[in-house]
Amino acid sequence: MAKRRLIQVLEGERLTPPPIWLMRQAGRYLPEYRETRGKAGGFLDLCYNPDLACEVTLQPIRRFGFDASILFSDILVIPDALGRNLRFVEGEGPRLTPITEEEIGKLDPSRGEEHLRPVIEAVRRIRDSLPDETALIGFCGAPWTVATYMIAGRGTPDQAPSRLFAYRAPDVMDQLLATLADMSADYLLRQLEAGADCVQIFESWGGVLEENSFRRFSILPTKRIVERVRARRPDAKVIGFAKGAGALLEAYKRETGVDAVGLDWTVPREVGQRLQEQGTAVQGNLDPLRLVAGGRALNEGVDAVLDAFGQGPLVFNLGHGITPDAPLAHVEALVRRVRDFKG
């Protein structure tokens, strides 16, 4: 079977047109997703139901024919597997019992394998159900990003509780991040073994860290994940998405060992182009609000991404997740415009 287009790009090839998928492409902007979500009950019920998780993962592939699908789950299934009392409040987001310094040393990662078994079963079912040419992406949250929710018990605007925790008890933070890194690496390995073609590490909150803290609390734990994965799967392809890292992305790529770098919509084109010149695939980076706006704003945004990065290894994507108010017609227009790119 021919190598899937996404994997070709992750290996450094330039394809015209570039492969395309969208972060959060299985989500509330799709009427079929909303219908399935209603059947599931709660959000976590959907994540842990292999049949329904498979169904919602396939929905955007059926509708838009993206080159890749991404497992439908959530980055917080890892703390949930650690027994941190995860729940989702409608309209407000995740809630957890905030973890204390004393509790960090008592975390038991061994309970995670059984807890996450339904997610791994979903990966198997998705791979069996996808078209042969469509890649399947597995994922996890980066340790720092997951830790921010565990420490604050919820999302916060600038993750001040976790930053303060790290300044006051850096060694304890290192311990938490190491536990999360090892558990996340094993989780990614299980996804790869179940049929994922590659994996993505979501560092959604790396951009709040100063440079020294970014290296210690974002780069080093991500490097630990990549090395642990590669120790068992030397050929594993890993995408790193460090939102807000900006000028630190080159160091992030170099020091973590990821194969490709996701670019959020604020990353200057020069940063992405330098990565490409070094043989690194980049992924991104259309502002999700251009997709909501449509028309000229959408067309100009798509063309700018293709103009900036289309001469190198590129996976076309948004600079963050698709929003629930994105019109279906605008997504269709986006796909057409990317597919029409001649380079």
Active-site positions?
24, 28, 37, 74, 149
Nearest-angstrom CA–CA distance, 305 and 266 = 12
Tokens 């890194």 correspond to 181
The answer to whether residues 268 and 224 touch, using CB atoms and an 8 Å cutoff, is: no
Return the structure tokens found at 68: 């890749």
CA distance 84 to 4: 38
71 Cβ contact partners less than 8 Å away, ≥ 6 residues apart: 53, 57, 119, 122, 123, 126, 136, 137, 138, 139, 191, 196
- As a whole number of angstroms, the distance between CA 277 and CA 162 comes to 35
Q: What angle do CA 190, 195, 198 make, to 5 degrees?
A: 80
Query: How far is C-alpha 53 from the chain's CA centre?
Result: 16
Residues in the chain: 343
Q: Kindly state the tokens that stand for 15.
A: 């394809």
Q: Give the integer Cα–Cα distance in Å for 145 and 217.
A: 10
Nearest to 125 by CA among 199, 31, 38, 196: 196
Q: Give the pair of three-digit tokens for residue 19.
A: 């492969």
* 246-252-253-257 Cα dihedral, nearest 10 degrees: -160
Closest CA to 173 of 144, 149, 195: 144
